[in-house]
Structure 1
Amino acid sequence: MLTFAEKTKCIIHKYEKGEVMAIEELVMSWIEAFKSLSYFGIFLALCIEFIPAEIVLPLAGYWVSKGDMTLFGAVLAGSLGGVAGPLTLYWIGRYGGRPFLERFGKYLFIKPEALDKSDEFFKKHGGFVAFSGRFLPGIRTLISIPCGIAKMNVWVFSFYTFIAMLPITFVYVYLGVKLGENWKEVGSILDQYMLPIGIAILALFLLYLLIKKRKKRTHSEQLSVFFKNKR
């Protein structure tokens, strides 16, 4: 039997020859290696952002179905790993992206006032952005960077990311348990629903902002009329 290092070397050699399945094989070999670390292995796999949660979590569900771990442990490890991975990108945004934009933003037509407005927006609505972004394929990974750039409170970011990841992780792992050896189908099944759910959440948020803005405008108009009548 090949060792993990030998298997990795073989897969990289395949990739250099242009065999497209090599990257997926490499990811799977890493995940299999993490399996020996049990729950900590799930956590570590999800800390590495380019390893898709859509592979790790259903596979963890398959391991649960085989009795290798518990559903509770797999969901908890997956949820915590789902926070630790985005936190890495958050810190990159905060200590890398922010100074870069402050120094070179003018060349990208990004004014300091725009950064200030972004900070203000994330102070008010950052939690919702961090939460809803987890439901949008393609955005869920990148959303952490603007949260860091805007200097969103790290505890608020972590809390809302965890609150979002908990149900997502549960669904992926649970379906992995139910589908068993067909766990690879989970990702394609859920991808049909994640985008509509994310869009619905964003639509509700925009509706909330619109209603709030109209209420504020109405209140200002009422105050204006009141003071005019006082005169």
Structure 2
Amino acid sequence: MFDGIINWVTDLMTTLGAPGAGLAIALENLFPPLPSEVFLPLAGFTASRGGMSLLAAIIWTTAGSVVGAVALYYLGALLGRDRTRAIAAKLPLVKVSDLDRTEAWFAKHGVKAVFFGRMIPIFRSLVSVPAGVERMRLGVFLLFTALGSLIWNTVFVLAGYFLGENWTLVETYAGFLSKAVLAVVAVAVIAFVVSRVRRRSRQRV
């Protein structure tokens, strides 16, 4: 499956050049399991072989990141605060007050969340949804999404460009980062569930 994805992206870049790399990254934003940590170095490697210019690779992949993020932003806006609260109220172990605290946090730190979130695996895509739910100003969202994406994409495209045939090393080390993020998320979820179960147990007593 992984080889199939690589072959598909390679064909896309061969056929369309830099716009193909942008399309791949836009799809990666919409479907987080698709690995930008692979697509971006591959775009850099393709640029090193003359398949596209290095600048075009960075510009088009950043444009693809913004397009994918905007689609998820509008998904969050379509979902809206009322629907989000209704869903939260039906979830076990989740209180609407938890959502209120999350909204307050995002209202205060939303810009930083969007900017730095673009450089964190998994959250790169997910952070766009609460931005839409909270109706962050679109201009602000676009600006900090573009800046964060530009930094992330440039690092990985340049890595693939300079590593050449060894571009796959980038995915190997980036994979450790992704696993670390997943581990932190898993620990946080477990801690939340345990604390909420204990609180309910004390209330029953």
Same fold (TM over 0.5): yes
Question: Which 5+ residue runs of structure 2 have no aligned equivalent?
Answer: 181-205
1:8-157 counterparts in 2 under 5 A? 23-35=1-13, 36-49=15-28, 50=31, 51-96=34-79, 98-108=81-91, 109-111=94-96, 118-119=102-103, 121-157=105-141
Which residue pairs with 1:184 in the alignment? 168
Q: What one-letter code is carried by the residue in structure 2 that aligns with 1:130?
A: V
**Greater relative contact order (CA < 8 Å, ≥ 6 in sequence):** 2
How far the C-alpha of 1:44 sits from its partner, in A, is 0.7
Let me know the Cα RMSD of the aligned residues: 2.5
* Higher gyration radius (CA): 1
Please report the TM-score for the alignment, with normalisation by the length of structure 2: 0.73
Q: Distance in 2 between matches of 1:97 and 1:24?
A: 35
Give CA-to-partner distance per residue, 1:123-171, whole Å, 9 cap, x none. 4431111011122223222211222222212221121011111121111
- The answer to whether the aligner puts 1:171 opposite 2:171 as a matched pair is no
Q: Distance in 2 between matches of 1:106 and 1:60?
A: 44
How far the C-alpha of 1:191 sits from its partner, in A, is 5.4
Structure 1 runs, 4 residues or longer, greater than 4 Å off = 113-121, 190-196
Question: Which 5+ residue runs of structure 1 have no aligned equivalent?
Answer: 1-22, 197-231
How far the C-alpha of 1:192 sits from its partner, in A, is 5.8
Q: Distance in 2 between matches of 1:151 and 1:131?
A: 16
Give CA-to-partner distance per residue, 1:152-198, whole Å, 9 cap, x none. 122211210111111211111111111111111112335567999xx
Which residue pairs with 2:187 in the alignment? none
How far the C-alpha of 1:106 sits from its partner, in A, is 2.9
